Amino acid sequence: MKLQLVLLFLFVETISFGQVSYNHLLRNKKFDWVKDSLSEELTIYYQPNSWTAKNVDNAKPRIIRYLNSVKSFVGIISYRKMIHLFIVESRQEMKSLEGHETNGSAYYAENAITGIASEKINSIYANHELFHLVAMNVWGVPDTWINEGMAVYADNNWHGQDLYQLTKYLVDNKRYIALNKMIKHFRVVDDIVSYPLIGSFVKYLDETYGRQTLIKIWKAKTKNLKRLTGKSIKELEKDWLAKIKTVANREIKY
pLDDT of residue 19: 59
Domain check: are 149 and 164 in the same one? yes
The DSSP call for residue 41 is S
Domain assignment present for residue 197? The answer is yes
Burial of 140 (0-12, 13-18, 19+ CB in 10 A): exposed
Instruction: Provide the domain limits for residue 54.
Output: 2-139
Domain assignment present for residue 40? The answer is yes
Domain stop point among 122, 139, 156: 139
pLDDT of residue 15: 53
Domain assignment present for residue 74? The answer is yes
Domain check: are 134 and 149 in the same one? no
Question: Measured at the alpha carbon of residue 54, what is the angle toward residues 49 and 55, in degrees to the nearest 5?
Answer: 145
pLDDT of residue 206: 98
Domain stop point among 124, 139, 154: 139
Whole-number Å distance between alpha carbons of 206 and 216:
11
| pLDDT for 9 beyond 60 | no
Domain check: are 130 and 163 in the same one? no
Domain assignment present for residue 26? The answer is yes
> What would the mean pLDDT of 113-123 be, rounded to a whole number?
95
pLDDT of residue 2: 37
Domain assignment present for residue 254? The answer is no
| C-beta separation of 24 from 63 below 8 A | no
Domain check: are 41 and 18 in the same one? yes
Domain check: are 201 and 157 in the same one? yes
* Residue-wise pLDDT tens digits, 196-207: 999 999 999 999
pLDDT of residue 161: 94
Domain check: are 184 and 105 in the same one? no
* Residue-wise pLDDT tens digits, 12-61: 454 544 457 999 999 999 999 999 999 999 999 999 999 999 999 999 99
Domain stop point among 139, 159, 176: 139
* Residue-wise pLDDT tens digits, 54-85: 999 999 999 999 999 999 999 999 998 999 99
Domain check: are 87 and 172 in the same one? no
pLDDT of residue 11: 44
| C-beta separation of 198 from 149 below 8 A | yes
| pLDDT for 254 beyond 70 | yes
> What would the mean pLDDT of 150-160 be, rounded to a whole number?
96
Residue 65: CATH number of its domain? 3.40.30
Q: Number of folded domains in the chain?
A: 2
pLDDT of residue 248: 86
Whole-number Å distance between alpha carbons of 138 and 134:
6
* Residue-wise pLDDT tens digits, 207-231: 999 999 999 999 999 999 999 999 9
Domain assignment present for residue 252? The answer is no
Mean pLDDT value across the chain? 92
Domain check: are 118 and 212 in the same one? no
> What would the mean pLDDT of 178-185 be, rounded to a whole number?
97
